[in-house]
Structure 1
Amino acid sequence: MLLPPLVGVINKNLEEQLATLFAHKFKDNISKATTSTCPKLGDLITIIDNRGKTPPLTTNTFEYPIIDVGSLKGSCRIIDFNNCTKYVNKATYETWFRRGHPKPGDILISTVGSLGEIKIYLGTKGCIAQNVIALRAITISPLYLYQYLRFIRADLFAYNIGSVQPSIKVTHIIKHPIFIPKADDLIEFEKISSYITNQLYTNYIENDALKEIRDTLLPKLMSGEIDVSKIVI
């Protein structure tokens, strides 16, 4: 299995390959996109937005972590749940969040504080914090849309309306034009992007498993509970 530092290097390289491919294929058309020639983001998605009253939180580790801005930071598209510091219990998870929870393939984006942090939700756990919304692609590939939003991050920053704390309104984001490529080009990009995304997620799962093994074995090795003196290498 891969060692954690190597996983980070590999994932960074995979992300850079996808970003380069996307820019090569689509950047010229994206630069020409306008609301008169292209659909708006709001035409292609539904939004899961649970902003409002803060749910009762705990720092006790439950199976329902709160996905906030901190867990969205970084260049990799995979959410690092190790960065989650707050949780809700099962009762809160099932009853509090009026608009529901993210589903696999949803794109999570921060709207307050550190703006434009973006990830793709994979797996089956987690609920979104007050400063995060989920965009659920309806008539467009979520992987293409994720890469598109990554590509236009500077445009998203331009929607900042906060004087003290940076913030962007959902109503502004959904009016942004989205260039839709020809079907063949979209299918080709989707195939490559899907393969790489699956590899990124697999690497993350393996890396997380290695950390768990390390955290379990290291204290036992340090205390002498596990004796490795007779192991022949």
Structure 2
Amino acid sequence: MFIDNMSSDCIKGTLSDIADITMGQSPSGSSYNEDKNGTIFFQGRAEFSFRFPTVRLYTTEPKQMAYTNDTLISVRAPVGDLNVAHTDCCIGRGLAAAHSKTNHQSFILYTISSLKKQLEVFNGEGTVFGSINKKSLIEMPIIIPPNKKLDEFEAIVSPIDSSIRNNYDENCHLIKIRDSLLKKLVSGELDVSNLDI
């Protein structure tokens, strides 16, 4: 919509023109837990899945936060993998969060996704493994459409992103029901021997 058909009213800019970037900072290891005590914590891309990261860890000492629908960016090898924050969460040093300055969060997600090739260059840099720092990230060159076009884009794409989120929530709910029923079936608490199938 914007890259292949760039109109004359688009301008060249950088990622920092449209998004606030928060670089992650890891809390003390002693604050980590799997008991749902504190704030959801994502260290890096290890928790990434199709769209939303899988919750595994919590921290009682959150340092840097990402907020609901922020784009989460892997800043350590592999640089450039993306997910979306399902809820407010703490991010470790393997991640950065991008938050729209103008309430065009879907545009932020797909703009950063379109930068995949530029971001992958950073996987070959560094002495041990690839990484990208804040300066390099915020200076990534992008095309910025006028606000009217961004509003049109959000009107089309944001409902699609909402549907993906709703489907994800429904899947999570169904998984919990399945796991609960399986536990009862295996333990014999739920008797299905008289079912006519």
- Which of 175, 178, 183 in structure 1 is aligned with 2:139? 175
Q: C-alpha displacement at 1:163, in angstroms?
A: 2.5
Determine the C-alpha separation between the residues in 2 that align with 1:62 and 1:52: 17
1:171-220 Cα deviation digits (max 9, x unpaired): 11111122112444322221121111111111111111111111111021
- Please point out which of 23, 27, 39 is paired with 2:3: 27
Provide the alpha-carbon RMSD of the alignment.
Answer: 2.3
Letter in 1 for 2:183: P
CA contact (8 A) 1:44 1:140 kept: no
Provide the identity percentage: 28
Paired letter, 1:212: K
Change (3 A) 1:60 1:123: closer
- The residue type paired with residue 157 of structure 1 is E
Aligned length: 190
1:56 is the counterpart of 2:30: yes
Q: Which has the higher helix share?
A: 1
* Mapped pair 1:41 → 2:15: yes
Amino acid at match of 2:96: I
Tell me, in whole angstroms, the C-alpha distance in 2 between the residues paired with 1:52 and 1:202: 30
TM-score (structure 2 length as normaliser): 0.84
Please name the residue that 2:47 is paired with: 71
Structure richer in strand, relative to its length: 2
Gaps of 5+ in 1: 1-24, 31-36
**Deviation at 1:66?**
1.7
The 8 Å contact of residues 116 and 156 in structure 1, kept in 2 or not, is answered as: yes
Task: Name the residue aligned to 1:3.
Answer: none
1:119 alignment partner, one of 76, 83, 103:
83
Conservation of the 8 A alpha-carbon contact between 2:184 and 2:190: yes
CA offsets, 1:126-148, max 9 Å, x none?
Answer: 31122111122213612111101
Please name the residue that 2:118 is paired with. 155
Of 181, 189, 193, 1:225 maps to: 189
Q: Supply the distance in 2 between the matched residues of 1:195 and 1:217 (Cα, whole angstroms).
A: 33
The answer to whether the 8 Å contact 2:53/2:85 transfers is: no
Question: 50, 56, 68: which one pairs with 1:85?
Answer: 56
State the TM-score, normalized to the length of structure 1. Answer: 0.72
* Cross-structure match for 2:168: 204
Q: 2: CA distance between counterparts of 1:52 and 1:61?
A: 18
Give, in whole Å, the separation in 2 of the partners of 1:217 and 1:105.
32
